[in-house]
Amino acid sequence: MHPLVERLRGTLLPAVVTPMDRSGAVDRAALAAYAERVAAGPIGGVAVWAHTGRGLYLGERDRADVLTAWRRATSAPLVAGVGVPRALTAPKLAEAEDATVAMAVHAAELGADAVMVYPLAEYAALPDGHARAVGLHERVAAESGLPLVGFYLHGEAGGYPYPPELIRELLALPTMLGVKTATLDRAIGCQDAIWAGRGTGRLAITGEDRMFGPSLMWGADTALVGIAAARADLSADVVRAWTDGDHAAFVRASDRLDRFAAATFFDPIEGYVQRMMWAAVHEGALPEHAAHDPYGPALPAAERDAVIACLDELGSAR
């Protein structure tokens, strides 16, 4: 078992945003300050290049600057999301696999401690799709030299549901740390995925921003979530209370986090990145000029008002 398994178990890894201006240019000064702020919080590691950080939209130089900034800010484990960059349009499956591997190798060169492999949705339609998925994970591990996190990602974000048998096959690989579920609102799929890993000793990682508390009750023991990008303490409080067996504190912390999730994760779901950035501005973690998500939908001002109102209410109730 890789030592990162026990190091990360019971901890929170924020899937962090990438500070950008309206044109999508990364603000490196804001990035450095944001990284220092988050790194000082109640975290066990950091997830970079994830969906929250728009990792697949960033160019290679920007991805390098992002990971380097976080590596400078913290000695905690960095997990880098790796997949097919959006700049690679309509790639054939072999090209998509090569791009995923290349991104993992680059992450290793920059100092990442592990990689989280974006699922290739094309596998779902292939008769040998499961074997291809396992083979991709084996190749990523072999060529990058890093341990892996599997990624059950809901279809709206470009993934596909990993059935329990595929999760068990992935977790049987010696290089796997665990599997993260991000099923959005599919309680059955989340339960089945977590339960598929029982008895393996690997991490059951929740990415369930709207089912955070329940996913811990179903067996998740680690968290890697975008909702922690602005207020890591709200998620960390839930993990800590559950791990400590303090059920009264768990209920209170879950209620607080659920209220924040309701103000940030709703249709259009892709708007959550901008809502997290608004929250980060309100909390003083990002400057206004570096809090733009050019890859998400346009959102009305009323949604920002609701995020701020929620944070003000949570702040006064803490």
**For position 157, what pLDDT does the model report?**
73
Nearest by Cα to 44 from 75, 19, 22, 69: 75
- Using DSSP, state whether 148 is helix, strand or coil: strand
**What is the rounded distance in angstroms from the CA atom of residue 210 to the CA atom of residue 103?**
29
Its pTM stands at 0.96
Around Cβ 317, how many Cβ atoms within 10 Å?
10
Question: What would the pLDDT profile of 178-194 be if each residue is shown by its tens digit?
Answer: 999 999 899 999 999 99
Question: What would the pLDDT profile of 222-261 be if each residue is shown by its tens digit?
Answer: 999 999 999 999 999 999 999 999 999 999 999 999 999 9
- Tell me which residue has tokens 């949705």: 121
90-124 in b/e form (b: 16+ CB < 10 A) is eeeeeebbebbbbbbbbbbebebbbbbbbbbbebb
Burial class (CB in 10 A: 0-12, 13-18, 19+), 36: middle
Around Cβ 11, how many Cβ atoms within 10 Å?
21
Q: The domain 3-317 is classified under which CATH number: 1.20.120.1730, 3.20.20.70, 1.20.1440.230, 3.30.70.260?
A: 3.20.20.70
Around Cβ 273, how many Cβ atoms within 10 Å?
23
**What is the rounded distance in angstroms from the CA atom of residue 32 to the CA atom of residue 16?**
12
Nearest by Cα to 219 from 197, 241, 200: 197
Residues 6+ apart with CB under 8 A from 128: none
Nearest by Cα to 46 from 2, 140, 112, 107: 112
Around Cβ 318, how many Cβ atoms within 10 Å?
9
**For position 159, what pLDDT does the model report?**
78
**For position 160, what pLDDT does the model report?**
79
CB 141 within 8 A of CB 147: yes
Strands, sheet with 176-182, edge to edge from the N-terminal-most edge strand: 12-14, 222-225, 203-206, 176-182, 148-153, 114-117, 78-82, 46-48
277-314 in b/e form (b: 16+ CB < 10 A) is bbbbbbeebbeeebbbbeebeebeeebbebbeebbeeb
DSSP per-residue letters across 51-73: TTTTTTTS-HHHHHHHHHHHHHH
pLDDT < 50 stretches in the chain: 317-318
Domain range summary for the chain, segments of one domain joined by +: 3-317
CB 81 within 8 A of CB 99: no
Q: Cα torsion at 42, 45, 46, 51 (round to 10°)? A: -100
**For position 316, what pLDDT does the model report?**
60
Nearest by Cα to 137 from 169, 113, 181: 169
Amino acid at position 209, single letter: D
